[in-house]
Structure 1
């Protein structure tokens, strides 16, 4: 319990003994408050710094954590909170449900609230007690230089408040925070407690909203918002978050509670690492940036209220944003952002972004390019706030590609069909300087490529580069890159034996695959994996790839379990392609088996996207249509009996 100038977020499966706000904090607090005076009870020591009401709140929080820990120990003999045991814990504690909230949710929400209280109270009491026992060693001249006009003290960008300062009205406290320079600060636990004790008056509610809007307008708003959350003042200023603070999200994705996740998403909006997304954010006006932060702060406000949280949250946003005096246009855009805050990520990961109907459906919901830009930024922030590991280089490229396709579609009065989009891309290629330098034979071959999908996906430079490499490649050419993730490009004279290849690489985590027929019977294949491999393994891996591709054998793969309801087949996806979606349990060799079935029927895969989340694999395959092939027979072989 040493220096404490930032309160970390509490993870959703905390160690009830050792983590922040756990039972060890309670034990250490008792030790610390009895460290200098021979007193049996902590009470008399604590009352020197907090009042009876605050001490009661601390005791109740500590008691509840001990109760949950005991119930957890009885159900699983572990101190780590297990959401899977919530029903058993709830039954042991005889918890009653609330209106619109399950009793298991009540337990977890109260647990996180109590752990937060114990963390703040214990550190505040220890800091207060020991400050009176030691001298800081700071000279008076340093103290005077550190004192700010608003009464706070700043040391190395950490804000302190003297222990003797009395509580002030909330609006006065907000003005003190606004008087801080627009920079990123940390807040000492004494400052958090000072904010926590702010005097709240209903008469000042309107002025409080105006002051909160000014906080949102700052370039570094998130640190103040986080301090208000830690001080339990944020739900007073943002009523829609009152029910969501400390609300758990046991979905396998989110690391923190709803309130902490929403505040964290604002932090990512102010600290964007993706250069392209940052350039879009930098183009926003002041109201646009304010709107963005408010939408992020409220994007999950609909959770815990029943129904689709995006729909509920969009209605909540409209009501609250109107009170902040944002323009009607800004409010409408914000409603759209909250309503569809997961849509861009879902479309990029689960849909064919080169299909005209997919793009039309997506952009029709957003309405205009400005909302598209904001939706892109929101997607970046929400994904990173959920878990930074989810924002992979592959997903970043996919989102940017989707953004580019949609932006181009907004520029056209009517969405182009596959053929029209190809014609437009061909015109761009003809104007390209690199194309002009090619020999006439290769120029003709490029325009003879049958796949409209290749022209829809790649820019002119990319298409020209692929064509040149294919022209110069031997019967089989393999290129391996191993930077942030493993990437394999294959140029083959004939349709490659991908079933055997994927069977050989089944131990790797395949993330994306695409196949295009080019010219002269040549094919281009690209495989992207979610991780890289050791440099020492690259040469062996390349040899394995070439041996597998040259093999004429069938892949020896155990038949995976794919239930009938886990296949989604659209035979009329487009003029050239049928679409097959597979949403099944993740199984080693699943894609190798699927491709092996298609190889038996001599049916070619034009494009495939593979995503694995929480032991489920979501595969999207575009299949080249061919006369005389009964795709229904293929589906029967894919389905488990």
Structure 2
């Protein structure tokens, strides 16, 4: 009550108006009122309140001072308030402009007015400045400059504001060349923080690339360069294309509606479009079913189409605004040379002559000729030339996928694909300008196509372009991937397959099958030879095969690798599939292609290459295994019980057979020889090249029931992220389990005492009579409750494979990652009386794919359908019963 009495009556009245006004606007929004209108109405509401509060200050002043206040002060709305785009919980930017030289004399008015604004309960950005102070601040601070570029007087002395506005514009006009880079740099820094790509799957609708801030950037750049911020006036002056203005307005209307809804939904300023909000908004829009696409994927596709348009327009407009070298028209003939009358090639750029521009406006082949030339010369294409291409392609009808391309266009495109120099950059521009879909029509389907899962971070088209960019950067890589990439002769086949590999997404059928058909269609359209078409089809069809083998199967298993070698068929195709797989993983999101996965894929590549280089892969594999066993037997020469060691070596599975050099393998077996049936021993080794710790545990199978799930529980409780596991049963009931982990509490190699602590926990898990359920310790590094809540929308799946492995049923579990998940799964497998022989744990962002090679306790495959369904139901129930966080 006392607090209310201290608040000015005008503020109390304004608060009531604000609450009623917001509620009224919420109803208008829910009834379908366009976002721009809701924002304008809210701006009017706020403007009325701010004016009333200023008038209250005047009314409270002594009568003889009131006219003086009106004469010396004016209230200026700027930023979103100035351009009349206020969202329901936006902050309000107000400047009290005054002409009183003495700050002390102006202070009482400033204090009272600012206090009224803050008491209103809004997030207020308030400043009080003279004309000279405001202009001086704007010339020094980019944020102030851009904010004041969208100003209007709402109360007080309009002539004072006009004086400020005229002087401000005059200073900006004089200094635009210095001011312009600051505006671009500030926006670039903001995009880096909030999302540099428009295809970020949880974007900030205001600050991420292509969002509202980029639309505002057009206004700021226009004001700075041309003295005008209104896009309509910029279009009338010829600085914006008519089609660009139309797209900017459509994007603004959509994004303002979206931001309004986020604010109303959360009752506060909220600009993050996370997965929960995406699902809610998609349901709210009640979109009709579309084959192969979820409603949320349809909604986000529309979002990305708008933000993509904004990005392209902003890039083009920013280039137009940048200052040109003043004497370039004199120096150009001296520093450039003409190419066939149509192009001029300079030190850094290539551009079209007037003759070349005229040809380009009517012929797609000329566009490809230019792009191919830019790639061969490794030059950037001039902005004016790109602008002509944008205008020309917008007039072209959609391409017919059944029609073959003109031979000259096909040759030029294939020539472009064969050179990595600027390929990634040029393909990205061709995609942005809709040229790429004129060549490969199926590309249009993937434009802005979202995959609503926790695995992919980008849309399909952005993922594809990033994959191509990764490939072309391999030309400078000093490791095995770079060596392989540089050795590939048919780079155009590789790059084409990379472009096509995910074109089958967004359909009901498996995308690899759809992609294979599209690859065949594209091969015919481009006039590829039969061999090139078949190679492209195989790479697209099998683009996931190598990744799945390395991450989900036992690549030390002879049968698995021999089968893969037969599928690939040739060393050259293997080379292309290897680097294509690396690029595919790298383009999923930051950190997805880690050292561990790269090493696994490289091992599989080398292993398969050796087989393909022999006359018979199966014979070569048998010979390799026999040679390895002979090597191990030779290493037992200095041990006392060679007969025991030989017996163990004869039954070693491949994963243990090649687990280190011969001396290391025999030394580990010797450790096991000294064990008693009631003992367990654990040891560790840090593998720097993979940035993982290998923990090995030796014991007898009779020591305790459920050895594997107890060990996984011990590791998880010690905050070890398990990447892979091998469960090996040797002769005489000996068990040798290996786990490859990364310590969540350390970056790089954990200290020796930490590794000893984990080893003790592993031994105690098997030798201590009853430890109860393990506890999984959390730290601030774990995902938040909010992140975990989104996972409830991701389906948990269990699948079975009885074809890949001769002796095992392969169980794959697809689930959202959380602490204790692996323990829950392995415990359920134990309770189902299944024996686990191999485990592969793949984590992709927030999604895991855990794969287990299992048999019955008697060592048989599980083939009965009822039994398989029982296993599926048990695993799903166990996972679903876990807490969300």
TM-score grouping bracket, smaller chain normalisation: 0.7 to 0.9
- Tell me if the contact between 1:120 and 1:189 (Cα under 8 Å) persists in the aligned partners: no
Where relative contact order (Cα < 8 A, 6+ residues apart) is larger, the structure is 1
Equivalent residues in 2 for 1:242-261, closer than 5 Å: 242-261=444-463
Contact 2:504–2:514 at 8 Å: present in 1 too? yes
The answer to whether residue 381 in structure 2 is matched with residue 381 in structure 1 is no
Q: Does 1:107 align with 2:299?
A: yes
More helix by share: 2
Matched, 1:278 2:482: yes
Aligned to 2:390: 196
Can you list the C-alpha shifts for 1:513-569, whole angstroms capped at 9, x where unaligned? Answer: 224456798754432114564367641441342254153324422799xx9984859
Residue correspondences, number: 627
**Match of 1:242, SS?**
helix
Partner Cα separation in structure 1 for residue 453 and residue 470 of structure 2: 21
CA distance in 1, matches of 2:804, 2:545: 24
Whether 1:391 and 2:593 are equivalent positions in the alignment is yes
Say if 1:246 and 1:453 are closer, same or farther in 2 by CA, change over 3 A: farther
Note closer, same or farther for the CA distance 1:539–1:602 as it changes in structure 2 (3 Å cut): farther
Counterpart Cα distance in 1 of 2:427 and 2:379: 11
Q: How far apart are residue 112 of structure 1 and its match?
A: 1.4
- Inter-partner Cα distance in structure 2 for 1:233 and 1:601: 56
Whether the aligned pair in 2 keeps the contact of 1:434 and 1:461 (CA below 8 Å) is: no
Cα deviation for residue 293 of structure 1 reads 0.4
Pick from 552, 555, 560 the counterpart of residue 768 of structure 2. 552
Structure 2 length as normaliser, TM-score? 0.60
Change (3 A) 1:636 1:224: closer
Distance 1:595 1:529 in 2: 16
CA spacing shift, 1:516–1:138, aligned 2, 3 Å: farther
The residue number in structure 1 matching 2:366 is 172
Rounded to whole Å, the distance in 2 between the matches of 1:467 and 1:162 is 73
Matched, 1:2 2:184: yes
CA 224–87 in structure 1, closer or farther in 2 if over 3 Å, else same: same
- The alpha carbon displacement at 1:241 in A equals 0.4
Aligned ranges for residues 52-71 of structure 1 at < 5 Å?
Answer: 52-71=242-261
Partners of 1:266 and 1:293 within 8 A in 2: yes
Pairing 1:342-361 to 2, within 5 Å after superposition: 342-355=544-557, 358-359=560-561
CA distance in 2, matches of 1:457, 1:592: 24
Q: Summarize the Cα distance change of 1:35–1:143 in structure 2 as closer, same or farther, 3 Å threshold.
A: same
Structure 2: distance between partners of 1:24 and 1:191: 27
CA contact (8 A) 2:205 2:259 kept: yes
Aligned partners of 1:254, 1:549: CA distance in 2, in Å? Answer: 38
> Partners of 1:480 and 1:229 in 2: how far apart?
48
2:568 counterpart residue number? 366
Q: 1:298 Cα deviation (Å)?
A: 0.8
Contact conserved, 1:597 with 1:637, CA < 8 A, in 2? no
2:708 and 2:826 in contact (8 A); partners too = yes
Q: Please give the alpha-carbon distance, in whole angstroms, between the structure 1 residues aligned to 2:833 and 2:304.
A: 57
Contact 2:839 2:850 (8 Å CA) reproduced = no
What is the 5 A alignment of 1:116-131?
Answer: 116-129=308-321, 131=323
CA 1:290–1:100 in 2, change beyond 3 Å: closer, same or farther? same
Q: How does 1:560-571 map to 2 (within 5 A)?
A: 566=798
Is the contact between residue 581 and residue 620 of structure 1 (CA under 8 Å) also seen in structure 2?
A: yes
TM-score (norm 1): 0.80
Residue aligning to 1:479: 684
Q: Which runs of 5+ in 1 are unaligned?
A: none
Equivalence for 1:319: 521
Shift of 1:125: 2.8
Mapped partners of 1:472, 1:102: distance in 2: 55
The equivalent of 2:740 in structure 1 is: 528
**Higher Rg of the two aligned structures:** 2
Taking a change above 3 Å as real, the CA distance of residues 439 and 119 of structure 1, as seen in their structure-2 partners, is same
In structure 1, which of residues 475, 480, 490 is the aligned counterpart of residue 696 of structure 2?
490
- Shifted more, 222-231 versus 292-301: the winner is 222-231
Partner-residue secondary structure (3-state), 1:479: strand
Partner of 1:13: 202
Q: How does 1:43-192 map to 2 (within 5 A)?
A: 43-46=232-235, 47-75=237-265, 78-86=270-278, 88-90=280-282, 104-129=296-321, 131=323, 136=325, 147=336, 149=338, 151=343, 168-169=359-360, 170-180=364-374, 182=376, 192=386
